[in-house]
Amino acid sequence: MSTEVFAQAAAWIAVDPDAADRATLEELIERGDEAELHRRFDEPLTFGTAGLRGPVRAGPAGMNRCTVRRATQGVVAWLAQSGIGSERGVVVGRDARYGSETFHDEVVRVLLGAGVPVHEMPRPLPTPLTAFALRALGAAAAIMITASHNPPADNGYKLYGPDGSQIVAPHDSVVERFATVAGDAPLADRTSPLHRWVQEELLEEYREHMVGRFAVPSSPLRIAYTPLHGVGGEFMVDLFHRAGFSEVAVVTEQFHPNPAFPGLAFPNPEEPGVLDAAVATARNFDAAIVVANDPDADRLGAAVRAADGTWRILRGDEVGWLLGSVALADAQEHDLVATTIVSSSLLEKMASRAGVAYATTLTGFKWITKADPTRRLIFGYEEALGFAVDPVVADKDGLSAALALVRLAHDLSLHGLTLLDRLDELESRYGVHAGSQISLRVSPPRGREVLHAVMKRVREAPPRQLGGVEVSDVVDLEAGANGLAPTEGLVWRLGAVGRVVVRPSGTEPKLKAYIEVVGEPRFDDVRAQREIANSTLVAIKEELIELLSLDVPG
């Protein structure tokens, strides 16, 4: 029996402020449950693609008061070392997940105790509003307690810097370094003169700005909407109504916040079956479009009714093309559009044709919003349903993106067209861009070890062909590529046919592969071209599943 993990647990208990968590760990020590202790201590939470994220449980591998307290002490030390100026204050927000209110309170108390002014969001609200408040108030940073679209058992900690976007290296490692050595934290409560509430007037500024951009006098467009038991419901419906979209039917059983997310193992609009209830509501309401936000409303999912009455769920790339087509039509000199290495290559072709600057970034909105500081980012997206349609929020925003999408649907309907017609037009002009992904989940305590082992195996022995298509080039992203910072991942180019990107997820314990198959521009029959591309896509996907098997010896 190893004594090291028991010593780690004892040291953690000595500083853990939560009596229930201390009791849990003490019981594990008393039982001699080494396996469970390893699960809680061997893989501490680290800042990934979107900050800290993990299951709510005691120990450094979980989200808990001690983890949050240490992370916040790390933020305080980072602000002091970087010279950002903590006197400008930190915006603190939360969603409605398990533990969110408790962790939120912990952040507020630690910041106030350290002499840092706090701008506290007045209630559980969508993540984009915290990002908006940061810029609007000119604060030094913002902290949002959320796990976005993760499973019900998870929570998280998202950190924004003074530019309004999520922090990147080396700032994340600085926060982690200080958090790791954090000691006792002086605490203060909301009676502190450094505490202030974010006022409703500031939230109204967001509403007025977005409504001003996307409103129509009145639209007959019928919309079915779900916030997936998250915090977006009332705010989003109010935006729809103010913007002239009054024909909105909500998924009643999913409208109010519920951290259990009943009926949804993964409250992510990307997951199969998650939009079933919304589509059923749409059928009953005779809606033309389904709009869904994830639980913290920073992502947007959508489905559209086809001419034959069937419903088609749009891929994130397809929504990106639609919203990108509007942004590019309105672009001005020095504007920029951007997407990531795992997203479709179509946006780059659209931007080139429009004469608008374009950038490809690493995965995650923290990179998209920093693509080119010399230009104004008018549109950015990632295939995982994240969209930025307005520069006032330096992050993905499912609220404003929803307004932009229904506005486009309304404008097209005036000409007897639909969003699907626009997609046909785009792929006829630029070629079919079929896409899919594989997501293979791993479990602790060996999760990270397994991911690294699989990546090592395919790095050392990449495939020569996939789905009958020759692999023309192998790019190791750990070495950096096209001016991008090094990151764990591989790109297998398939000549003119497309590409595959393989990488570990930055937000969940998963290995992901992103596939794109590209066809030639054809104006005669885009649907036939899609069938050809999808056939190749399926063949590639089948081989990848076998190639990326998570069965690792030992």
Per-residue pLDDT tens for 72-109? Answer: 999 999 999 998 989 999 999 999 999 999 999 999 99
Supply the pLDDT for residue 101: 98
Tell me the two tokens of residue 513. Answer: 């592969």
Distances (CA, A) of 265 to 17, 35, 259, 441: 31, 25, 11, 14
Pair (92, 189) in one structural domain: yes
pTM: 0.94
Pair (305, 452) in one structural domain: no
Pair (47, 186) in one structural domain: yes
Task: List Cβ neighbours of 244 (8 Å cut-off, separation of 6 or more).
Answer: 215, 216, 217, 218, 219
Lowest mean pLDDT among 83-87, 133-137, 242-246, 496-500: 83-87
Pair (399, 441) in one structural domain: no
Per-residue pLDDT tens for 510-553? Answer: 889 999 999 988 777 888 899 999 999 999 999 999 888 765 44
- The verdict on residue 19 lying in a domain is no
CA distance 419 to 307: 11
- The verdict on residue 145 lying in a domain is yes
Token pair 């909500």 in the structure block, residue = 250
Pair (304, 188) in one structural domain: no
Pair (460, 516) in one structural domain: yes
Pair (55, 169) in one structural domain: yes
- Can you tell me the mean pLDDT for 302-320? 97
Per-residue pLDDT tens for 465-484? Answer: 999 999 999 999 988 877 88
Query: How many separate domains does the chain show?
Result: 3
Domain-terminating residue out of 415, 430, 445: 430
- The verdict on residue 211 lying in a domain is no
CA distance 467 to 515: 11
Task: List Cβ neighbours of 134 (8 Å cut-off, separation of 6 or more).
Answer: 91, 141, 142, 160, 162, 164
Domain-terminating residue out of 409, 430, 451: 430
Write down the catalytic residue from 148, 325, 345, 400. 148
Per-residue pLDDT tens for 377-406? Answer: 999 999 999 999 999 999 999 999 999 999
Domain-terminating residue out of 177, 194, 211: 194
- The verdict on residue 113 lying in a domain is yes
Supply the pLDDT for residue 554: 37
Pair (440, 426) in one structural domain: no
The pLDDT-based confidence of 446 (bands split at 50, 70, 90) is low
Supply the pLDDT for residue 521: 86
- pLDDT score of 160 more than 90: yes
Give the domain CATH number at 385.
3.40.120.10
Give the domain CATH number at 533.
3.30.310.50
Pair (135, 149) in one structural domain: yes
Pair (418, 477) in one structural domain: no
Domain that holds residue 504: 431-547
Per-residue pLDDT tens for 241-271? Answer: 999 999 999 999 999 999 999 999 899 999 9
Active site residue 218: no
- Can you tell me the mean pLDDT for 345-366? 96
Pair (253, 111) in one structural domain: no
Pair (401, 488) in one structural domain: no
- The verdict on residue 205 lying in a domain is no
